[in-house]
Structures are given as structure tokens and as C-alpha cells.
Amino acid sequence: MSGTVENPSQLRDIYGPPSERALKKEMSKLDRHCRNFIALSPFLTLATCGADGRLDCSPRGDHPGFVAVLDDETLLIPDRRGNNRVDSLANIVAHPRIGILFMVPGMNETLRVNGRARVVDDPALLEPLAVNGKVPRTGVLVEVEEVFLQCAKALVRSHLWDPGSRIERSSFASMGQMLADQIDGVDAEVFDREASDPTRSLY
């Protein structure tokens, strides 16, 4: 296809080499700044790949610091109750390489972690991560291989944390209404009413 970039050398011809600082910021383990970032983070995205090459990028969220830092090279992400699709977990079982993007409300920088993961159900690991007496059924144990802070440009450009950039929520269909339009038998009002309970599975 005309105009398609097909190999890494073409990319380098377009963009040139990365800066020395961009290369040097990559670390193989967590330092105190990374630990602090994770302790403040209530939200991450988890990227995984299945054995068939199909990709998944899934949000994870809870109270700040919900991801446990076991040591400078190991993280534990609890798997809270959800819809039981287990797309990410199934991918990890088949193909353990993952990418994580941590975010902190109000901070435009993000933290990127790449590594290898496995799904664990060890009570000794999971019980300390209980919330309201509920122990996660499994967790994602991550062996950190690459970690670095991502500069603020993307979130600055997007104005993600700017209250003035928020849409009027009523201008967009509710989740219940969207599902009712997509799935026969869904009651939009019931779904939206139950959606306010973070401990309840809605699917």
C-alpha cells in the first residue's frame, strides 16, 4: 500500500533517533519515585496479548495504592469482581508479557511498566488486598522488566483533568441505554440504578 510504513528503518527515517534522555530514563526496577507513583494511583490500563495474537487493553481501578509493590521488581494487581469475561487473565495464562499504564488524577505524567505476569490464587498473597472483607479470587503477579515515567504532553494536550473539558454527561447515552440498544432484554433503568454499586457485577 502506498504511503504505508513497513519496517523500523522507515520509521527512523521519518522520526530520527530517540533522545539520549528518552533512552536513559528506562529502568529495570522500581525506584522511590515509581513506588510513590503507584501508591498514589487509583487507576491503570493493562495491555495483554493472547496466544492467537488478539489484543486486550483493560481498565483496573480501586482506592489509591490498590496495586501492591512487593519489592523493587514485583507488583501484585488484585482482580476485583467483574463480568467474568477474564479476557486479560486468559491472555496472561497463554502469553505472559504485559504492559501497564498507571495514572494519578491531577498528574499529567504517567508511569509505564512492561514485564512478565502470571495469574496467582495464593491466599497468603491475596488476603492483604481484601476490600470490605472480600479477598480477590486471583491476582496478577508482575515481574518488572522495564519501567519509566512518560512525559506529560499527551495529557496536557488532551486537557484530561481540566474540569472545563468534561462533557455534560446527560448529553451522551447512559451505559444502561447503550446496552439496552445493543442487547435484547436489558432494562436500562435497572442497569443504571445498580451501576452505582462498585461491588456488584452488572453483567
In a shared domain, residues 135 and 47: yes
In a domain, 2, yes or no: no
pLDDT, tens digit (0-9, with 9 covering 90-100), for 118-140: 999 999 999 999 999 999 999 99
**175: helix, strand or coil:** helix
62 & 102 share domain: yes
CATH number at residue 84: 2.30.110.10
Could you read off the pLDDT of 32-75 as tens digits, one per residue? Answer: 999 999 999 999 999 999 989 999 999 999 999 999 999 999 99
Domain that holds residue 139: 14-158
pLDDT tens digits, one per residue of 178-187: 999 999 999 9
pLDDT of res. 198: 63
38 and 95: one domain?
yes
Same-domain check for residues 137 and 179: no
Residues 194 and 151 in one domain: no
Whether residue 147 is found in the same domain as residue 91? yes
The answer to whether 110 and 102 are in contact (CB under 8 A) is yes
Total domains present in the chain: 2
